[in-house]
Structure 1
Amino acid sequence: MKIFDIKDLRKLFTLIIALLLSYILLGQAILAMITNDYKSGLIKHDYEVAGYLYRDNGNMSHIKEAFTQKKSVEDYRSGEILLKGVGYDASTNNNLIPNLKAFNNKYAVLVFCLSFSMGITLLFILFIFAVKFNKTLEKASSDILSFMNGNHEIRLDDNKEGSLSKLFSAINMMATSQATHITKEKQNKEFLKDTISDISHQLKTPLAALEMYNEIILDENVNNDVVSSFNLKINSELKRMENLIQNLLKLAKLDAGAIELNKQKSNLKDFLESIIMRFQTRAQHEGKSIILNCDNNLVFIYDKEWLLEAISNIIKNALDHTESGNEICISCDNTPVAIRIIIKDNGFGIHAEDLHYIFKRFYRSRFSKNTRGVGIGLTLSKSIVEKHGGTIMVESELGSGTVFRLIFSKLTTL
């Protein structure tokens, strides 16, 4: 049986078997002692009866025959009738028979002590084994938690025999594989971080040159409406390209884990007002309004630069999907467990088919009227919010507007 592959279990069963054999031998010794004692008591009783009969009638030969000769059924019947007449039978209370009472009292305590000591010894052995086994499991559990908390060098003790050591060996193999994978992932992230940095520097140079050349052309008074129109379009597309590249780089850095947030406690209302100011000109030009409703004293620990990016993308998305006369409402909600930022508009809304995909990068809805977006703004917002330990949810109904809820647990932000 595989259970006996465990060395400690083999020891336990061997010890129990040895203990049982010892108690069996002890029991046989006690039984022999009881038998001899019973024999002595029986002979003593017969001596007493013989003496009593001899004293009464003096016929010694007849008395000897009574104890040494084989008895007939008639003898048994006669004796039974005689003694039952005085209440001496199998139903007689043991306490009324002095020899039997003394015999029971003598050995009842002995048998009880033997049984009790055997039970206590077995329980003690099982307790010692359970304590030792529990210590092994607790140490294994502690080592596994230590590994999960970053100590990737730790391993379980798998140098013993048995199924438990086989399990520990399998866990160690898994831990080694996981540690190798973690190391490789770290190397990949470092490589991606360096690559992103190189790409960023490489792209900035040609983009800056193209913008400079386009500005030079724009400054030239060529008196050609077609050229001027194309120059303006080129300038717009260059800015769009620069914005796209910057967003892609930011998203790549977040994916690579190359971003360390610089969180600071700051007034949330002042922060949101500064974001709204960035969109005020566009909103007024398009006939839309942005309304803020937030407690003046609400403070929050966050990275201003990155959270600005996240909220700005959501506000920009709201402006892209509303029309003149619509409004965008931004509110703050402070609960005992979380701080919520709610961005709500009464614009076009999101089709039910698209709700599950709006945070997917490069996703473009077939119902969208925005032909200039590339579908990474909301993806970037989601990554930034989650980097802050928060969650982002969206509710929308086609034709009735959209609500984005940014929820930041106080357990992770305070």
Structure 2
Amino acid sequence: MLMLSDKNVRFQAAVMALILLLLIIVSQISVLWMTADYKSNMIAHDAAIAGNLLANGVDEQQIKMAITTQKTDVELRLGTALLKNSGYEENTNNFLLPEIEAFQQKYVSIALALSFCFSMVLLASFSFFLWKQDQQLNLAAKKIQCFIDGDVTIRLDDSSEDRLSQFFAKVNTMATALTAHMEKEKSNRLFLKETISDISHQLKTPLAALQMYIEIILDEKPGNEVVEDFTQKSQRELLRMKNLIQNLLKLAKLDAGTIDLEKKLHGLNEFLEKCRSTFTTRAELENKKISLVCDRSIRLCIDEIWFSEALVNIIKNALDHTKATDSITISGEENRLSIEITIKDNGSGIHPEDIYHIFERFYRSRYSKDRQGIGIGLALSKSIIEKHGGSITVHSELGEGTVFHLIFPKLTVL
């Protein structure tokens, strides 16, 4: 049988068989002891009857013959009828027969004690094997948790021949494969990080040179309107290219997992005020209003630089899709479970066909009037927010405005 291939099962089966064998031996000894006791009681009972008959003048030889010789069926019937008339028969209650009552109580107690003892032994041995297996599983669970927490050198004890050790061996094989995969992934991330750094460095030089050339042309004032017009357009496109490259590099770093957030507790009101003040001048020029509502007691654990990037992109998106006299409201709220940041505007809203795609990279709506955007800002914001353990959702009605909800469960922000 497959179960008997397990060393622990074989040992447990052997222990159970030994206990049952002991039970059989003790039972047989008890039967012999009971037989001897019954024999002793029967002889004592016959001796008492013989003595009573002798005392009442019955011939001694007749008494001996009555006790020791084989009885006939006729004698049995005659004796049964005689005793029955005296109330002495099979249906007589045991408490009227002291010897029988004492015999029953004695061996009922012995049988009960033996049954209890062997039941306890069986239960104890079974419980011991369960406890031992439970200890192995608890130790394995602790080691697996240590592995999950980062100690990839941890391995389970698979030195025994039981099926649990065979299972642990499979887990160890899986852990070794995972460790190799993690090492490879770590190496790939390091390579990607260095590659991104190299690309960033290589791109900065030609972009800076182009920017410098354009500024020189503008400073020279060539007097040619066509040249000046194209130079200014080139400068704007160069700025767009620079922003696009920077955002792409940021996204690549987030995707590669090479960003280590330096999270600290910040007063949410002060942080949101800094983000709002970034757009104060633009809002005044465009005749728009940006308001802030947030309790000063709320604190959020964030990386200020990266989280500012996420909030600024969302606020900029709101400004891009509102018109003069429209308003934008930034608010922060806290409850027992989470901290929520809301950015609400009463602008043009988002078309129903676009609402499920606005966080996709390079997605451009055919309904949007904004032709300058590159469709990466909100995707970058979403990645940063999720990196902080939060989530972002959007609700919008065409022509009524848009609301972005940023929710951070307290289990992830404390």
Name the TM tier (shorter chain).
over 0.9
> Per-residue deviation at 1:142?
0.6
> Per-residue deviation at 1:66?
6.9
Tell me the equivalent position of 1:60. 61
Equivalent residues of 2:354, 2:365 under 8 A apart: yes
Structure 1's 99 and 269: CA in aligned 2 closer, same or farther, altered over 3 A?
Answer: closer
For structure 2, the 5+ residue unaligned runs are none
Query: Residue deviations 1:261-314, cap 9 Å, x none?
Result: 233444433333332333233333333222222334544443222121111100
Aligned residue for 2:341, secondary structure, equals strand
Aligned equivalents of 2:285, 2:164: Cα separation in 1: 73
Query: Residue deviations 1:130-164, cap 9 Å, x none?
Result: 22111111101111111001010111111111221
Tell me the equivalent position of 1:397. 397
> Per-residue deviation at 1:234?
0.7
Aligned equivalents of 2:262, 2:64: Cα separation in 1: 115
Deviates more, 1:60-69 or 1:40-49: 60-69
Equivalent residues of 2:322, 2:346 under 8 A apart: yes
Aligned residue for 2:331, secondary structure, equals strand
> Per-residue deviation at 1:53?
4.1
Aligned equivalents of 2:268, 2:19: Cα separation in 1: 74
Equivalent residues of 2:275, 2:312 under 8 A apart: yes
Deviates more, 1:20-29 or 1:89-98: 89-98
Tell me the equivalent position of 1:71. 72
- Matched AA of 1:258: T
> Per-residue deviation at 1:259?
1.9
Query: Residue deviations 1:312-358, cap 9 Å, x none?
Result: 10011112222233211112223344332211011121233332322
Equivalent residues of 1:361, 1:379 under 8 A apart: yes
- Matched AA of 2:155: R
- Matched AA of 1:95: F
> Per-residue deviation at 1:224?
2.4
Compute the TM-score of the two structures, normalised by the length of structure 1: 0.92
Tell me the equivalent position of 1:371. 371
- Matched AA of 1:255: D
Aligned equivalents of 1:299, 1:29: Cα separation in 2: 80
- Matched AA of 2:329: C
Equivalent residues of 2:46, 2:67 under 8 A apart: no
Query: Residue deviations 1:205-255, cap 9 Å, x none?
Result: 111111111222222333322222211111110000000001111111122
> Per-residue deviation at 1:203?
0.2
Tell me the equivalent position of 2:302. 302
Q: What does residue range 30-69 of structure 1 map to in structure 2 within 5 Å?
A: 30-53=30-53, 55-58=56-59, 60=61, 64=65, 67-69=68-70
Give aligned pairs, total. Answer: 413
Equivalent residues of 1:4, 1:162 under 8 A apart: no
- Matched AA of 1:372: Q
Tell me the equivalent position of 1:329. 329
> Per-residue deviation at 1:64?
1.5
Tell me the equivalent position of 1:177. 177
The answer as to 2:162 corresponding to 1:147 is no
Aligned equivalents of 1:48, 1:273: Cα separation in 2: 113
> Per-residue deviation at 1:378?
0.9
> Per-residue deviation at 1:111?
2.1
- Matched AA of 2:72: K
Aligned residue for 1:158, secondary structure, equals coil
Aligned residue for 1:57, secondary structure, equals coil
Structure 1's 206 and 113: CA in aligned 2 closer, same or farther, altered over 3 A?
Answer: same
Aligned residue for 1:375, secondary structure, equals coil
The answer as to 2:207 corresponding to 1:207 is yes
> Per-residue deviation at 1:379?
1.3
Aligned equivalents of 2:270, 2:111: Cα separation in 1: 87
For structure 1, the 5+ residue unaligned runs are none
Aligned residue for 2:371, secondary structure, equals coil
RMSD: 2.2
Structure 1's 29 and 266: CA in aligned 2 closer, same or farther, altered over 3 A?
Answer: closer
Tell me the equivalent position of 2:82. 82
Percent identity between the two aligned chains: 50
Aligned residue for 1:406, secondary structure, equals strand
> Per-residue deviation at 1:369?
2.6
Equivalent residues of 1:94, 1:100 under 8 A apart: yes
Query: Residue deviations 1:42-97, cap 9 Å, x none?
Result: 2333344345445543273586267523412x433322221111110112122222
The answer as to 2:318 corresponding to 1:318 is yes
Structure 1's 49 and 208: CA in aligned 2 closer, same or farther, altered over 3 A?
Answer: same
Structure 1's 127 and 66: CA in aligned 2 closer, same or farther, altered over 3 A?
Answer: closer
Structure 1's 39 and 270: CA in aligned 2 closer, same or farther, altered over 3 A?
Answer: closer
- Matched AA of 1:162: D
Structure 1's 31 and 266: CA in aligned 2 closer, same or farther, altered over 3 A?
Answer: closer
Aligned equivalents of 1:116, 1:270: Cα separation in 2: 74
Aligned equivalents of 1:270, 1:46: Cα separation in 2: 109
- Matched AA of 1:24: I
Aligned equivalents of 2:226, 2:79: Cα separation in 1: 145
> Per-residue deviation at 1:395?
1.4
Aligned equivalents of 2:412, 2:384: Cα separation in 1: 14
Q: What does residue range 13-412 of structure 1 map to in structure 2 within 5 Å?
A: 13-53=13-53, 55-58=56-59, 60=61, 64=65, 67-72=68-73, 74-296=74-296, 298-412=298-412
Structure 1's 201 and 32: CA in aligned 2 closer, same or farther, altered over 3 A?
Answer: same
Structure 1's 296 and 233: CA in aligned 2 closer, same or farther, altered over 3 A?
Answer: same
Equivalent residues of 2:382, 2:391 under 8 A apart: yes
- Matched AA of 2:81: I
Aligned residue for 2:206, secondary structure, equals helix
Aligned equivalents of 2:247, 2:316: Cα separation in 1: 14
Aligned equivalents of 1:140, 1:301: Cα separation in 2: 34
> Per-residue deviation at 1:119?
1.5
Aligned equivalents of 2:245, 2:170: Cα separation in 1: 46
Deviates more, 1:379-388 or 1:287-296: 287-296
Deviates more, 1:9-18 or 1:59-68: 59-68
